[in-house]
Amino acid sequence: MNFVGSHILSVDQFDRSAMEQVFSVADEMTPYALRRRITRVLEGAILSNMFLEPSTRTRISFGCAFNMLGGEVRETTELKASALAKGESLHDTARVLSGYSDVIAMRHPDAGSVAEFAQASRVPVLNAGDGPNEHPSQALLDLYTIRKELKSRDRGVDGLRIAMVGDLKYGRAVHSLCKLLSLHDRIHYKLVAPPGLGLPGDMVERLREKDHQVSEYEQLEMGIDHVDIVYVTRTQEERFPSQEEADRYRGLFRLNQAIYTQHCEPNTVIMHPLPRDSRAQAQELDDDLIENPNLAIFRQTDNGVLVRMALFALVLDVADEVHNHAQPVTWYTAKRFT
């Protein structure tokens, strides 16, 4: 895969070597994200950060990743504040915006919309989530985290045993991660979902066709034993036909320290694409896990900055130039990432 000038729209674009390339550049970004030094390699470049659906985490992660490379960020945070609300087509918006900026990150509520937008764009477009469809940078940061967590246990991804828990029907993070993992050898997917929210049948089929093992469970305790990773998701309430229907599923699976101790292997890594639902009725990950050193959820979001920096550096062809524009950090950074 040639990243330079490319759109990043789907995990389907990635093979193992392309992933390796992203992760290798992400590793190189570490001193900048940790603020041991800064780089000005993208000084003067502009990111249009187009978020046409509510988001804090991903929007700020993309924006900060671009700032950490030295670039500027212009943002849109709402559909209704945009020309699209006046009947403009995605094509026109793309043609116009791509005359203003050097790269575009876009989130949109409709599946396929970001790809349609990218077709008309004259600059690279990064899909930051198109409804229930794709969110490739999330899947990449999840896999990057899995690799780092396993590496600290002297393991690789081949032969991984992973439990995926919760809303596996609407969770695009799960869908994309399943695909990226399937590029590896002998993955054992243990799918834990309530009836009606299981992984779509065609996805299960494709994983099995690639000689991976897929087991399905309706009870949390059965699915989370003998795994390396427990990947928990929140119910994607905003994707349900009605709030009432979503409410039926709230709080069905809850992982807490007692269940973890009783059922998981001692080093099982706990992941979550975040945000996790911390309201009393939901709490798919209990607060009492916060001291568990295997809780990797904030290492995931920290890694997200590295992966997004890597994607920007690759599509804008500055991955090899980053260190040539490095400068010392002047300010206090001691508490960060402790």
Nearer to its own copies, 228 or 284 (CB): 284
Among 11, 25, 106, 123, binds its own copies (CB under 8 A): 123
* Half-sphere exposure of residue 293: CA atoms within 13 angstroms, side-chain side: 6
- Inter-residue contact 109 to 149 (CB < 8 Å): no
Candidates 1, 4, 24; CA nearest to 12 is 1
- Shortest gap between Cβ of 130 and its own copies (angstroms)? 18
- Shortest gap between Cβ of 171 and its own copies (angstroms)? 13
Stretch touching its own copies by CB under 8 A, among 131-139, 240-248, 254-262, 320-328: 320-328
Q: Is residue 54 a contact residue for its own copies (CB under 8 A)?
A: yes
- Inter-residue contact 299 to 305 (CB < 8 Å): no
Q: Is residue 242 a contact residue for its own copies (CB under 8 A)?
A: no
- The dihedrals phi and psi of 92, each to the nearest 5 degrees, come to -65, -45
Stretch touching its own copies by CB under 8 A, among 152-160, 178-186, 211-219, 329-337: 329-337
Rounded CA separation 116/257 (Å): 44
Nearer to its own copies, 102 or 134 (CB): 102
- Inter-residue contact 257 to 292 (CB < 8 Å): yes
Stretch touching its own copies by CB under 8 A, among 105-113, 148-156, 219-227, 278-286: 278-286
- Shortest gap between Cβ of 81 and its own copies (angstroms)? 5
Q: What is the DSSP letter of 11?
A: G
Q: Is residue 82 a contact residue for its own copies (CB under 8 A)?
A: yes
Q: Is residue 245 a contact residue for its own copies (CB under 8 A)?
A: no
Q: What is the DSSP letter of 114?
A: H
Q: Is residue 113 a contact residue for its own copies (CB under 8 A)?
A: no
Nearer to its own copies, 130 or 302 (CB): 302
- Shortest gap between Cβ of 317 and its own copies (angstroms)? 4
Q: Is residue 257 a contact residue for its own copies (CB under 8 A)?
A: no
Rounded CA separation 6/124 (Å): 5
Among 24, 56, 215, 219, binds its own copies (CB under 8 A): 56
Candidates 69, 125, 137; CA nearest to 95 is 125
20-30 in b/e form (b: 16+ CB < 10 A) is: ebbbebbebbe
Count, residues near its own copies per rule CB under 8 A: 88
Site residues for its own copies, window 130-189 (CB under 8 A)? none
- Shortest gap between Cβ of 111 and its own copies (angstroms)? 20
Among 36, 57, 151, 210, binds its own copies (CB under 8 A): 57
Site residues for its own copies, window 280-319 (CB under 8 A)? 282, 287, 290, 297-298, 301-302, 305, 315-318
- Concatenate the DSSP letters of all residues of 46-93 into one string: EEEEEE-S--SHHHHHHHHHHHHTT-EEEEE--STTSGGGGT--HHHH
Interface pattern 2-41 for its own copies (x via CB under 8 A): --xx-----------------------------x--xxxx
Integer CA distances (angstroms), 310 to 19, 132, 216, in order: 11, 24, 35
